[in-house]
A and B are shown apart, each in its own frame.
Chain A
Amino acid sequence: MTRVAPAGSRPAPERTDRSRTDKPRPGRRGPGNRPSVLLSKAGVTAMLGLAALYTLLPMLWLVLSSTKSRQDLFATNGFAPGKDFALVDNLTYLFEVDNGIFLRWLLNTVLYAGVGSLLATVFSVAAGYTFDKLNFPGKEKLFSFVLLGVMVPGTAMAIPLYLIAAKAGLVNTFWGVFIPGLVFPFGVYLARVFSASYIPDEVLEAARVDGAGELRTFCRIALPMIAPGFVTIFLFQFTQIWNSFFLPLVMLSDKDLFPVNLGLYVWYSSALSQGHPQDYLLAIVGSLVSVVPLVVLFLMLQRFWKSGMTAGAVK
């Protein structure tokens, strides 16, 4: 991870960090600024290092455990490498077990989270742009509905969603999990904010003067300008769907429809309840395989999640 960090970095905060870190501070060695041991360069780095150990060690455990044979998993220390390097065997087993069901779960997750959040983002950006740039009657009233949606908590909605899906015959279908992921009210809110800051009104006026239709203006001019916001909203919803667990748990019973989360949970709980030690290993290796793409995605797109987090939290 140390190697990846500088390459994928160009982090936004460093650039906005004005003069504070670039210029040496004149008063650093002033009388009131006697650095204690804890606040020395080494002290600060050591404290941050301890925190980094706390966050990284469990990940290291996951990586190391995935390379161990079943015997080593139970017999060797979790933070030490095993006697046999069994990663390839474990991966082969992971993708072969139960007729390759794990690959199917991965594909399902890509559909639920990838396609779902892509569509959700398109709908959110279209709506957010409309609220920001177009005039129509009842605009703010309609927008307060969006805010209502932001306030209704996702997890607590699982049972109401289940009830309505049961009514509509969508329980235990792909659509029962996919459709709820298409709605992202917070994305509409964010899109409105992004539209206001990324798309100057003058540009739209110019397009209208040139005779471009409203829809054409949105697709050809507004969408490219709001692209960074689009990525941010996509990332938010993507993580949210990839994380969701309660909804698939109540909605799905057909293994073939599971997202990866639910599949791993089922392996894990069967390892516990039925004493299948091989399922322990499956849940570990499966976790690693599904975490790696996410970590890579986050490292690649960190500029966007950082801007999105601050836009979302420090409104």
Chain B
Amino acid sequence: MTTPSARAQRRTATLLLAPFFILFAAVTLAPLVYAGWMSLFTTHTSGLGFGGTEEVFAGLDNYVRALADPAFRGGFLTIAAYVAIYIPVMIGGALVLALLLDSALTRARTFFQLALFLPHAVPGLIAALIWVYLYTPGLSPVIDFLGAGGLDIDFLSADNAVFSAANIAVWEWIGYNMVIFYAALKAVPTEALDAAKIDGAGQIRTALSIKVPMIRPAIALAVLFTVIGSVQLFTEPKVIYSASSSIGSSWTPNMFVQTAAFTHNDFGLAAAASLLIALFAALLSFLVTRFSRSRSKP
């Protein structure tokens, strides 16, 4: 029953899908499978290291080792602490800024949108470099300024590093999320706002009781996307790490992976840990997709 047109469509479909799927197989599926395979082996050094190495099947041993390693688990604790600071500050800040921008009072909307969004145009690594300079005693005008006010803060100490890393991320993402929330606020029906006004609700009351609940789905999605991004945290901690000896080389899970692979040459462990991180992030992404689907079907 295939008509010539259906056949033509199928042929074109194959042609147009081929580049993406061939590359997708090479860049996503093959590495996943190969890393999965590698994660089942460990390298044994025979003798005193002179006899060469051999790959030994280890089953799930690498996964057990990763999960049992305090350094790996500590990485997730770092992420948890980081998220606990970062999410409320960044999401809350972006929300307040979006509401301010949305309030009829604001002039120069375009300027503020651009000024607040601008850091997002700065690559994460450069953002981290800028801020770590601003955290470095002797270089930083911020430290000088605080010191003049009698405040001595070591931004790079072990206790403060989580805050310092979170601040870099807030700087990069607050404007981005503000633009998203602002766009969502525009979709709030005018009637609802007018009704609130007629009922005598003030600006703050309208914001808290009408606007925020109506854009809650956008906020929840932003939170989940931010958590997924945080699980993969690497660039900022890596830059802080090179400036400060106070945090370890396995401060975040991805740093643990890099250390396992290139400092200890333990590729089986690195592969297993990578896959655990990927799995964890993929589970979170799955939640996001489920969440946004169930939302779009009213």
Report A's interface with B, CB cutoff 8 A. 1-2, 5-6, 9, 11, 13-14, 16-21, 25, 27-28, 30-35, 39-41, 44-45, 47-48, 51-52, 54-56, 58-59, 61-62, 65, 73-74, 77-79, 122-124, 126-127, 129-130, 134-137, 142, 145-147, 149-164, 167, 179-180, 182-183, 185, 188, 208, 213-215, 218, 239, 242-243, 245-246, 249-250, 261, 264-265, 268-269, 272-273, 280, 283-284, 287, 290-291, 294-295, 297-299, 302, 306, 309-310, 313-315
> Which B residues between 1 and 55 are near A, CB-CB below 8 angstroms?
5-6, 8-17, 19-21, 23-24, 26-28, 30-32, 34-35, 38
Interface residue? B85 (CB, 8 A): no
Question: Which chain A residues lie closer than 8 Å to B285 at the CB level?
Answer: 150-151, 153
* B residues in contact with A208, CB < 8 Å: 5
A48 / chain B contacts, CB cutoff of 8 Å: 97, 100-101, 106, 112, 116
| Cβ–Cβ contact A291 & B129, under 8 A | no
B65 within 8 A of A: no
* Of B56-64, B71-79, B158-166, B177-185, the one with at least 4 CB within 8 A of chain A: B177-185
Which chain B residues have a beta carbon within 8 Å of chain A's beta carbons? 5-6, 8-17, 19-21, 23-24, 26-28, 30-32, 34-35, 38, 93, 96-97, 100-101, 103-127, 129-131, 133-134, 138-142, 144, 171, 174-176, 179-180, 182-184, 186, 190, 193-194, 197-205, 217-218, 221-222, 225, 228, 231-232, 234-235, 238-239, 242-243, 254, 257-258, 261-262, 267, 270-271, 274-275, 277-278, 281-282, 285-286, 289, 292, 296
Residue from A11, A33, A41, A78 in contact with B141 in the complex, judged by beta carbons closer than 8 Å: A78
User: How long is the Cα–Cα vector from A31 to B258 in the complex, in angstroms?
Assistant: 62
Q: B15 and A215: CB pair below 8 A?
A: yes
Decide: B28 and A134 in contact? CB cutoff 8 A: no
- Contacts A55-B174, A284-B129 known; list 13 others, CB within 8 Å: A1-B114, A39-B103, A41-B106, A51-B174, A152-B278, A153-B228, A153-B285, A155-B232, A167-B34, A213-B8, A243-B123, A268-B239, A291-B121
B119 and A163 form a contact (CB under 8 A):
no
Query: Which of A11, A25, A127, A137 is the one whose CB lies under 8 Å from B17?
Result: A127
The answer on a CB contact under 8 Å between A135 and B274 is no
A158 to B95, CA, bound (A): 33
Taken together as a complex, chains A and B put the C-alpha atoms of A139 and B180 apart, in Å, by 31
Q: Is the CB of A147 within 8 A of B231?
A: no
| Contact of B270 (CB < 8 Å), options: A9, A61, A159 | A159
Partner of A123 from B20, B222, B271, B282 at Cβ < 8 Å:
B20
Pick the contact of A314 from B10, B184, B200 — CB < 8 Å?
A: B184
B123 touches A314 (CB 8 A): no
Least Cβ distance of B13 to chain A in Å? 4
Q: Which residue of A lies closest to B177 (CB)?
A: A313
Docked CA distance A18–B275 (Å): 47
Contact: B110 with A163, CB < 8 Å?
Answer: no
Q: Please indicate the chain B residues that have their CB under 8 angstroms from the CB of A147 in the complex.
A: 289
Majority SS at the chain B contact face: helix
The 6 lowest CB-CB distance pairs between A and B, nearest first, are A32-B200, A78-B141, A160-B35, A214-B12, A160-B31, A155-B232
By a CB distance below 8 angstroms, the chain A residues around B106 are 41, 44-45, 48
Once A25-B104, A32-B200, A44-B103 are accepted as A-B contacts, the answer to whether A183 and B129 lie under 8 Å apart by CB is no
- Are the CB atoms of A55 and B222 closer together than 8 Å? no
Measured between beta carbons, the chain B residues less than 8 angstroms from A239 are 121
Residues of B within 8 A of A295 (CB): 118, 121-122
Flag if B28 contacts A149 (CB, 8 Å). yes
B57 to chain A, nearest CB (A): 17
Also in contact, A44 and B114, with CB within 8 A (given A13-B186, A20-B193, A153-B228): no
Do A156 and B125 have beta carbons less than 8 Å apart? Answer: no
- Cβ contacts under 8 Å, A127 to chain B: 16-17, 19-21
For A30, the chain B residues whose CB sits under 8 A away are 197, 200
Inter-chain contact B278/A314, CB cutoff 8 Å: no
Question: Given A39-B105, A183-B20: A44 and B122 within 8 A (CB)?
Answer: no
Q: Which residues of B contact A188 (CB under 8 A)?
A: 20
Q: Which residues of A contact B113 (CB under 8 A)?
A: 11, 13
Establish whether residues A130 and B16, one from each chain, have CB atoms under 8 Å apart when the complex forms. yes
- Of chain B, the residue at the smallest CB distance from A298 is B121
- Which of chain B's residues have a CB closer than 8 A to the CB of A297? 121
If A31-B200, A61-B130, A273-B242 touch, whether A161 touches B31 (CB-CB below 8 Å) is yes
Contacting pair A179 B125 (CB below 8 A): no
CB <8 Å contact, B232 and A154? yes
Contact of A261 among B117, B125, B183, B257 (CB under 8 A): B125
Contact of A313 among B26, B120, B199, B218 (CB under 8 A): B218
Which residue on chain A has the smallest CB distance to residue B204?
A: A39
Alpha-carbon gap, A208 to B123, bound state (A): 45
Q: Determine if B125 and A245 form an interchain contact, defined as CB atoms under 8 angstroms apart.
A: yes
Shortest distance in angstroms between A118's beta carbon and chain B's nearest beta carbon? 13
Q: With the chains together, A154 CA to B278 CA distance in Å?
A: 9
